[in-house]
Structure 1
């Protein structure tokens, strides 16, 4: 049985590994020359002429992302080596903020999180107790709430400091939306897994996992190498091959490109939502009259994908000789004028990979739910670095703006289904599922699509 997977991002490679292990003959199509989709390596150069590898966006995992971590291990990546594991912490440059004490780092969930809350620097006891009380209330309610509730409404009784220093940063990093707009239902699912879930291979569920390697090397490259080593006779990778057409045929689907066409028994479409919707509309338009059922399904799915709204993420990479932060990851404070301090987090890539000389002095500033033009955002981030970090000598390396980085995870959102039409499935972090647009969501979607075959 022949399976085509269109798109070699994290969802696509997850589907390929699962399907190949199940005995499918797999062809993986990727329009670009780089694996990873929206989480991939990006070549760059420092101002001093040294070449280095960045990412098209700074990502983070947590210990509760068990499917993504298990898949890494399955294809030969050792998570303990590829990821820097930090206890739950959101420290600010002045040393305040939530930080799990060393003596509680290996406590089982949720005791590690309780210890972090109880010892949060700069917090009053009533603020700590309010958060503990709210977390226990969420647990008693089964981490469920009305689907139309926002995170801000869910947390309306929490003190301002807890909202400003914990809930808002967590919400904007996980859902890429401010608390006033984000789905409380999805936020609670993430909180449930992070605070009360099971971690991976001895890591706490709440652990912060920062990639040491570039994002293509972290999983997609290793997955393809594993496929070629273990299923070389039944898997093919076609890089730089854009699928331009999809047509229903008896017993499956026919894919078309520039100068080629090939039939498959099943198809998993693992591109981003917008190109997927466009492909389904074009497939519906090309279908014959006798294919009415498939045509109707294709159009209905395309409508649901087109209904998604998207939010942007901007990553500003900057560099200066000898720069080193107090921690590999720091939270940055919001200003009354949000435009004056747009970045919420900064990562010290030199600490993520101490053995990579090219990464020393490289910082990655992340602006979730970003708005504005690239040049203006870059200038404001450099000013923010000077004010909050005391770094006035940073030089911009590269600023990556992904205007459709994640779907807007708003209350009551209806996401596209995994099944598109007979013998055709979708995979991607936007497909209906429990998680927001995260690497874990993408991997889970790819695995689920392959298991539905």
Structure 2
């Protein structure tokens, strides 16, 4: 069976690996020259001219990402070499905040998370107990709630400190929306797997897994190498090949584009939702199923993420990742987290002193955001910062609002969708993308 995968991001490469493993003849088409989609490597220079590889946005994985971790192992990655595992911790620069104590790091879920809550620095006992009661209540309810509920409504009985120092940062990092607008049902799915689920690949479910390498190397490039090594006769990867035409004919799908005019038995469309919708709407013709799917994808709303990379000579954070405090004037403190790239890649001389500030659900222009983040960083960390690169991904994630209807995996007979926006339990995460890719490959093989 001839299968085309359109898009070589994390969803597309996951689909290609799974499809090749199932025995399909696979061709992957990627419009750009870099693998990874919205989670890919970028290159720039430090102030002294030293070249450095960064990412299109700083990402976190967690130990509950079973499909992603399994697929990374399948393509030959040594997980401890490419991922730094940290126990559940959201410390602030002053040392307060949620941190799993050393004696509880090997405890299974949810005991490790309960220990972190019980020992949260700066919290009163009443605040700790309120969160523990709420967490156990969510578990007793099967981590289900009314679909129309927001995270803010779900957590309205929790103390302000718990909301401000844990719920809000978790919500905005996982769903890329403030709690007042985010889906409580999807948030509970994340909490279920992260705090009460089973870990994968030897990690605790709640472990924070920080990439030690760039995001293209972290999975997409390794997947491409594995496909060539293990299925070289039946797989092809064509970069710089943008697919612009799609036509159903005689039970097959004809793809046309940059140097492409070929028919396939099955197609997995693994581009961003907006690209998929635009392309399919232009070629739906009388295909009602295709038009309906495209309109559903077109109706999605999106939110932005900004990553500001900065350099401070000799800078080293107390931990590889810190939470940043909200300030009375929220406009002046847009970043929620900062990462120490030097600690993540200790053998990379170029990464030393490089910090990545993440602004989830970001608003505003790049230069203004960068200026505000640098000022925030200098106030809260105490170092003068030089900007390196600021990446604004305006359509980083779909807006995961209550009762959202997401497009399904089946676009039309023989045509399947893969991407973090496709129907599933997770918000727009790497795990959501990988799961959708694996599922699409299995549908194509059915």
State the TM bucket, normalised to the shorter chain: over 0.9
* 2:44 is aligned with 1:44: yes
Offset, 1:257: 1.1
Offset, 1:201: 2.4
1:386-412 C-alpha deviation (Å, 9 max, x unpaired): 111111x21000000000000000000
* Match in the other structure for 2:108: 108
SS at match of 2:310: strand
* 2:416 is aligned with 1:406: no
Offset, 1:81: 1.2
1:122-141 C-alpha deviation (Å, 9 max, x unpaired): 00000000000000000000
Offset, 1:279: 1.1
* Match in the other structure for 2:301: 309
* Match in the other structure for 1:373: 365
What does 1:52-451 align with in structure 2 at a 5 Å threshold?
52-285=52-285, 292=286, 295-391=287-383, 393-451=384-442
Offset, 1:315: 0.2
SS at match of 1:138: helix
* Match in the other structure for 2:8: 8
How many residue pairs were aligned? Answer: 444
Counterparts of 1:417 and 1:33 in 2: how far apart (Å)?
29
1:105-156 C-alpha deviation (Å, 9 max, x unpaired): 0001000000000000000000000000000000000000000000000000
Offset, 1:336: 2.1
Offset, 1:259: 4.2
* Match in the other structure for 1:35: 35
SS at match of 1:244: strand
Offset, 1:80: 1.4
SS at match of 2:128: helix
Counterparts of 2:291 and 2:79 in 1: how far apart (Å)?
41
Offset, 1:348: 0.2
For the Cα contact (< 8 Å) 2:241–2:259, is it kept in 1?
no
Counterparts of 1:350 and 1:144 in 2: how far apart (Å)?
40
1:205-240 C-alpha deviation (Å, 9 max, x unpaired): 000000000000000000000000000000000011
1:89-110 C-alpha deviation (Å, 9 max, x unpaired): 0000010000000000000100
Offset, 1:202: 2.2
Moved over 2 A (4+): none
Unaligned runs of 5+ in 2: none
For the Cα contact (< 8 Å) 2:408–2:417, is it kept in 1?
yes
SS at match of 1:13: helix
